[in-house]
């Protein structure tokens, strides 16, 4: 019960931002002594911190006198090290519990492409960054990776765009550098949890992300949807009839080959020969022309896959992140309409399609909070061997 009460109190603070002890007790239906005891424990563990906040007198003006003492998740010091393994680069950030913006990334380095042992080169780069970090100790390290991921076993089973990571025990390599528990999270799940952290009232949705790859994640009841197999949200690897492009997963015709950044630029190049093929050029071109037939076909193919997922899962909200949010509004409008046209619930109720920025760092913090700070059960995450040199 004490663990559940802690989880509830932290969730309430994530929602409110700052709150008083009395306010938390009221919101959670706890007695003030019970809430106060939990708060004192979390303050002692430096999970929460007290801050001075000027109180309002109810008429739009601050009350005179000393500021009131309020509580919030600790933002004064890093608690987690967040790492994102991307196709072309790795990014790192020292993350306080109140983190949640993509600008939180502080370090990055390109992926090694010419070495015979990219995993060893990656570890060497991590060691170099470790010497530059302000903090040497963390509650945990949370690693975001693409592909098919067994998070419980901390294994990357299949990574269509970073095949070398499949045979590399990245968590063990991280454990050689930082003496802290290491968590592995599939990148789309991190994005979905990050969005949920910023919209705690949105408890059920399908997140669809478009970028170096294409994939999604499902949140139901405020938590990632669990499955018998470590795979979900892979609508990007749905085959599209008539599409002959080979995908990094080994199949032919996947949605990802059309809707990833590289796929969109390839289609743009084929439709507009002789023009400069860059993301900026595509943005400018679409701003002038609107949704051209080649793009409409790709959007419709992706929309069919997403609408099918909505019909199967019984969801009515789609959150779109990534490259589609950077294109002119007409693109997302076309995409949203195509999803609604294929979603059965649209015939009886409303299907909501919204665009949002990526909040990956907030998702990594959410994973750390859930599994390390206030887990539902005692964590069984192994620690590293030794601290960074």
* Topology classification of domain 2-73: Arc Repressor Mutant, subunit A (1.10.10)
User: Residue 104: what pLDDT?
Assistant: 79
Global pTM reads 0.89
Ranges in the chain, pLDDT < 50: 57-58, 62, 65, 385-389
User: Residue 52: what pLDDT?
Assistant: 84
User: Residue 57: what pLDDT?
Assistant: 47
CATH superfamily ID and name for 204-357:
ATPase, nucleotide binding domain (3.30.420.40)
User: Residue 386: what pLDDT?
Assistant: 42
User: Residue 68: what pLDDT?
Assistant: 65
User: Residue 234: what pLDDT?
Assistant: 93
CA distance 200 to 161: 32
Structure tokens, 353: 């399609």
User: Residue 100: what pLDDT?
Assistant: 59
User: Residue 19: what pLDDT?
Assistant: 93
User: Residue 109: what pLDDT?
Assistant: 95
User: Residue 276: what pLDDT?
Assistant: 76
| 2-73 matches 80-190+361-373 in fold | no
User: Residue 249: what pLDDT?
Assistant: 92
Q: Please tell me the class of the 80-190+361-373 domain.
A: alpha beta
**How is the chain split into domains, by residue range?**
2-73, 80-190+361-373, 204-357
User: Residue 337: what pLDDT?
Assistant: 98
User: Residue 310: what pLDDT?
Assistant: 97
């Amino acid at each position: 019960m004490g663990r559940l009460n802690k989880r509830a109190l932290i969730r309430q603070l994530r929602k409110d931002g700052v709150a008083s002890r009395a306010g938390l007790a009221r919101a959670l239906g706890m007695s003030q002594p019970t809430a106060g005891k939990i708060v004192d424990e979390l303050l002692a563990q430096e999970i929460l911190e007290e801050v001075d906040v000027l109180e309002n007198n109810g008429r739009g003006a601050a009350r005179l006198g000393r500021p009131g003492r309020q509580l919030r998740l600790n933002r004064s010091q890093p608690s987690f090290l967040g790492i994102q393994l991307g196709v072309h680069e790795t990014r790192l950030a020292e993350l306080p519990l109140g983190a949640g913006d993509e600008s939180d990334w502080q370090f990055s380095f390109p992926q090694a492409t010419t070495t015979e042992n990219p995993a060893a080169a990656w570890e060497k780069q991590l060691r170099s960054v470790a010497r530059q970090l302000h903090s040497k100790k963390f509650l945990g390290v949370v690693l975001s990776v693409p592909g098919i991921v067994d998070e419980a076993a901390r294994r990357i089973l299949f990574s269509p765009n970073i095949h070398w990571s499949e045979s590399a025990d990245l968590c063990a390599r991280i454990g050689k550098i930082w003496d802290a528990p290491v968590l592995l999270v599939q990148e789309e799940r991190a994005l979905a949890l990050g969005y949920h952290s910023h919209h705690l009232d949105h408890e059920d949705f399908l997140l669809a992300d478009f970028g170096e790859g294409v994939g999604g994640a499902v949140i139901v009841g405020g938590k990632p949807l669990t499955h018998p197999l470590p795979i979900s949200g892979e609508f990007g690897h749905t085959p599209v009839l008539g599409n002959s492009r080979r995908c990094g997963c080994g199949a032919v015709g996947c949605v990802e080959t059309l809707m990833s950044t590289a796929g969109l630029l390839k289609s743009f190049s084929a439709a507009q020969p002789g023009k400069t093929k860059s993301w900026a050029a595509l943005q400018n071109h679409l701003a002038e022309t609107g949704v051209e037939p080649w793009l409409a076909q790709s959007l419709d193919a992706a929309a069919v896959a997403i609408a099918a997922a909505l019909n199967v899962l019984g969801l009515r909200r789609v959150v779109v992140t990534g490259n589609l949010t950077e294109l002119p509004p007409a693109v997302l409008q076309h995409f949203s309409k195509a999803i609604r046209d294929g979603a059965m619930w649209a015939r009886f109720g409303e299907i909501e399609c919204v665009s949002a920025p990526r909040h990956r760092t907030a998702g990594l913090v959410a994973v750390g909070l859930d599994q390390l700070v206030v887990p539902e059960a005692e964590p069984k995450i192994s620690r590293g061997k030794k601290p960074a040199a």
